[in-house]
Amino acid sequence: MTKGKLSDRQREMLDFISKFTQEKGYPPTIRQIGEAVDISSTSVVNYNLNKLEKGGYIARDLKVSRGVRVMDSGNHKLPKLGDLISVPVAGYIFASEPVLVGDTPQTATDEVIELTRDLVEDSADLYALRVKGDSMIDAMVSDGDIVVMKKVDRARNGEMVAVWLNDRNETTLKHFYLENGRVRLQPANPTMQPIMIEDPGTVEIQGKVMLVLRQLI
Per the CB < 8 A criterion, the answer to whether 150 and 208 are in contact is: yes
Number of separate helices (H) and strands (E) present in the chain: 3, 12
114 closest CA partner among 146, 71, 159: 146
Length in residues, the chain: 217
210 closest CA partner among 161, 158, 173, 164: 161
Q: How far apart are CA 151 and CA 19, in angstroms?
A: 30
SS3 assignment, position 55: coil
Known active-site residue 135: yes
Which secondary-structure segment (H or E) carries 11?
helix 8-24
Q: Find the catalytic residue in 18, 96, 135, 208.
A: 135
Q: Find the catalytic residue in 18, 96, 174, 208.
A: 174
Residues with active-site annotation: 135, 174
